[in-house]
Structure 1
């Protein structure tokens, strides 16, 4: 089942009633000039079990402890944004799987050779997906990227990921010939940042649902990063966000600010159509298949992570 992604950009009061998320618009309820019939219509309810991601993008949003607790109990990722409407925080449940303790142990005890092999698989698929985006959107030569993908060794000691990334970013945005991928850089970096934040939440949510510890990565190990594993596993998924941003650029001349319309398009990331294990699936469902296969790799039940192929 596809979970809903909810983004609240206006002042709103979120509470809980009968396992439903209740949405109140305070500006409507407090307006004495409006008839009661209209005020009643200002309230809406959504089953919490249908929600996968909630984005809080306004400083005047109020959410009750009961609503927050129930969202987390249903493995919902809650994202908070700063005054520039960029995601800055991610809240996930502490326990999202009945066999979490067992899976934590398998993950913690994973050998270095296994982690290096899993990273090799991750980078190979990331480069292949980047190659597809570059080949289908530009006239640039991409044979080199296929060669780099084939040459990735266990643990990627040659850092072919960085070589492929440098070539990819230099050529993928033809309308921005001098583009440099930088979190603080000029557009379309803002769109990429927003899209990757949504993707990170989806992957982190799927990891928790598979009973894994998002903090302990197979490659990333920044001591200040609470979601190293999410950053690892999302790598082959990043080109899907890149493709969406390319599609947005073709339809919008102005992307200096992330408008409401641009947000709505980026919030469609969970529903993007991907191919995984030879079958089409929404990205959010594919992420669950990927993390479930990763848990099996840690447990010694399989040797390959299921990643989407573009």
Structure 2
């Protein structure tokens, strides 16, 4: 699970071989075996002994701002990586081989998005199913266009991103349609979000981003060497490439929260230009994200945690580069 510390005045320290989290109300001991990563927001603190305990157990520590954006990370310096993998990543970043890799990411994203909509539609009225199927048809047409793209990535980048953007517009249009009227939205909004749905989505994508970055580095890949998303100073472009097929996990959790009527206005605070998720909202969201990613599914012929599928896929990408 991800251990999220977002209560003002919280203090995480080491107690023998375990973590101990202190708040004003209580003390909680947590085994290192139960923690994959630690997320700390403003107003909390951590001891150096707790940091060492995390590093000794290969547990990433990430510091977040109030929007869920990463401010910085601490992790073990011996995470696996090879110069050859990164050299190969640089080689394909400007080639047709790179185009094929990002096409696979995008096609998988479209397939997962369509599967999500089909699952949502299966529990709706005939009229709503018809509405959803109309948008799925548009998404499948865009998928076929993505599949036909070929050529060096510099030549086809804008076309691929255009197709991806149109897929997103159709997909989020359906999600908004399925929400209760008071929570519908007109499109994606960021920093800050203009509505409750995007507020939950943005914070959750920040959590997912940290999972992808960690898996990328452990697999020996360079998070800064992007293919579809171009390089920029201090910009982890490859993480943006890789994250696309996994966004549906976040979308499923957030839609389920609205579907179960667990979200309400009290989970958000108004700020200039939009909304931010407050402590109660974060508690609700993180609890559900942890439960979801700890769930087990049948994947590549074996039963593993949903969280572990990301690492498995990134190791496959690294092996592909080595073998290529």
Assess same fold via TM > 0.5.
yes
Secondary structure class of the residue paired with 1:265: helix
Task: Answer yes or no: is 1:6 the counterpart of 2:9.
Answer: no
Distance 1:17 1:254, change over 3 A: closer
Aligned residue pairs total 282
1:161 deviation in Å? Answer: 0.9
Question: What is the rounded CA distance, in whole Å, between the counterparts of 1:283 and 1:232 in structure 2?
Answer: 19
Question: What is the rounded CA distance, in whole Å, between the counterparts of 2:297 and 2:145 in structure 1?
Answer: 25
Question: What is the rounded CA distance, in whole Å, between the counterparts of 2:55 and 2:186 in structure 1?
Answer: 39
Q: 1:1-310 alignment to 2 at 5 Å?
A: 4-10=1-7, 11-25=9-23, 27=24, 43-59=27-43, 61-82=44-65, 84=66, 86-93=68-75, 95-110=77-92, 112-138=95-121, 139=129, 140=132, 141=134, 142-152=136-146, 153-154=149-150, 155=153, 157=157, 158-159=159-160, 160-174=163-177, 175=179, 176-183=183-190, 184-252=193-261, 253-255=263-265, 257=268, 258=277, 259=281, 260-274=283-297, 276-277=299-300, 279-301=302-324
Question: What is the rounded CA distance, in whole Å, between the counterparts of 1:92 and 1:145 in structure 2?
Answer: 39
- Asked if the contact 2:68–2:207 (Cα under 8 Å) also holds between the matched residues in 1, the reply is no
1:297 deviation in Å? Answer: 1.9
Question: What is the rounded CA distance, in whole Å, between the counterparts of 2:176 and 2:164 in structure 1?
Answer: 19
1:121 deviation in Å? Answer: 0.4
Secondary structure class of the residue paired with 1:117: helix
1:12 deviation in Å? Answer: 2.4
Q: Normalization by structure 1: what TM-score?
A: 0.79
1:57 deviation in Å? Answer: 2.8
Question: What is the rounded CA distance, in whole Å, between the counterparts of 2:309 and 2:236 in structure 1?
Answer: 19
Q: Deviations over 1:233-288 (max 9, x none)?
A: 11011011111111110122515524222332234343245554355532211011
Question: What is the rounded CA distance, in whole Å, between the counterparts of 1:278 and 1:148 in structure 2?
Answer: 30
- Asked if the contact 1:8–1:57 (Cα under 8 Å) also holds between the matched residues in 2, the reply is yes
Q: Where is the helix percentage greater, Structure 1 or Structure 2?
A: 2
1:18 deviation in Å? Answer: 4.4
